[in-house]
Structure 1
């Protein structure tokens, strides 16, 4: 076992990462904490039971599959890694997952005994339509590791804790007040735009639709009625949400369209 752990947000980055020369073990984070119910104490059995119940009732997943894909990989966090690298992107999906990982680490371990680093790109040289690390090869991931990796400080962890607590409230006014407060974002600069997107998701219009639902409805009403094409059109302008087909389909199902 290496003394270095890399936590990758989802399977998409794994192929490229395995072709790098970067040392360390790998943990793939497969939860989608930006959707569904949450609790403050992420390290408890109750938290994961609640998540399992929601995931298996919302998506095409079984309790056994959730255990294998989500819970079992987390056992690596019990190992005494001295260095942990968090590979998470700029969108809301990734940023909420990042907050969850930081909370899990801080609640279960002594972070003073571990160096925690963040690799969080919001762009890549000569890739004007950069969508995420899953589209990068090994050399390109090594470039990120060598050039944008930053060590998280106590302040970063405190800021992440504040953001997690605010996110859990699911309160538009509280989030708006928190975002307008002037603060130093340190190494968590992607948090502000991501949580700005969350604010739009919390607010509803006179029809009772939040921003995402209304955008999907507008796309459908424009004449695009195929689900795959709706997904594609939505992601052209709303990549900040980092939503996949399954998450978008939950909205389309509630709207009873497409």
Structure 2
């Protein structure tokens, strides 16, 4: 008897998937590996401890909730993996999804999964120029995507594993290799990685791309925080972030404001007031700058 497992990128996808008529078990991968430190030894005790500590603090998760909601279900999934003859990953074009996607491909490679692994990864589906998420599509379209899923093999596994390990390293500039030498079956990765680079503070302004956009909207007259977050969600292209991620970034900017509650900024905001002691993957943001002119990451020179 054959069994299929569908690993989905979020609960909105799950709700639509259930109405699609596609057979198989489902598992929702709810991690946010695009944020915070990520250990290279995926699904190890060190990995889970690090992610538990970060997620609990960053998203105000109650003690023990991370293990209950993410770690234990994933361990159960791992224990039962051999029961499935096919595993299909369902992901999207954005940074949020792409990092989660390569981590799971790395996991399947590390686990030496012997069944058939396939990928549904969407973004461009028509000539409109718009990039679509799975949650924006109707259930009756899911079967078409499933029918054209890509089979993953050694080349895809090795590429994803190498990229995952670089993402978890302290040398984020090495990720350029995966932008300059894109892999056809993972065509959305280069644009997602470029949006990742712009999350580091700019050499020219001291602010990240997201922080600069916050400032632009505020300078244009936005004084309501929730409307501001809504504008950020509509502005984003390849980030794929939710409202909590933007709220946390805005909170980090708090020292820059004259009056944070009123979103009152000085005429020349001082980026040096923002604490950069946080990680993206394996890189401490304090140690890198984004050169907008050269479009490259450069190590920050240590303070004398």
With the length of structure 2 as denominator, give the TM-score of the two structures. 0.77
Larger Rg: 2
CA distance in structure 2 between the aligned counterparts of 1:22 and 1:205, rounded to whole angstroms: 49
* Residue matched to 2:243: 245
Aligned to 2:227: 229
Task: Choose which of 87, 94, 101 in structure 1 pairs with 2:104.
Answer: 101
Selected match of 1:192 from 173, 190, 193 = 190
- The aligned residue for residue 201 of structure 1 is 199
| RMSD across aligned positions (CA) | 2.1
Q: Which has more strand, going by share of residues?
A: 2
Quick check: 7-16 or 123-132, which moved more? Answer: 123-132
Count the aligned residue pairs: 253
Q: Deviations over 1:91-118 (max 9, x none)?
A: 00000011111122222x213x121101
The aligned runs of 1:67-78 (5 Å cut-off) are 67-74=67-74, 75-78=76-79
Alignment of structure 1 residues 101-180 onto 2, 5 Å: 101-107=104-110, 109-111=111-113, 113-125=114-126, 129-147=130-148, 149-169=149-169, 171-176=171-176, 178-179=177-178
For residue 30 of structure 1, what is the aligned residue in structure 2? 30
Structure 1 gap segments, 5+ residues each: none
Greater helix fraction, Structure 1 or Structure 2: 1
Q: Is 2:96–2:240's contact at 8 Å kept on the other side of the alignment?
A: yes
* SS at structure 2 position matched to 1:239: coil
Change over 3 Å in CA distance of 1:151–1:87 after alignment to 2? same
Q: Distance in 1 between matches of 2:131 and 2:160?
A: 25
Q: Partner residue of 2:300?
A: none
Q: Is the 8 A contact 2:119 2:151 kept in 1?
A: yes
How much does 1:124 deviate? 3.2
Whole-Å Cα distance in 1 between the matches of residues 163 and 53 of structure 2?
25
Residue 207 of structure 1: how far off its partner (Å): 4.3
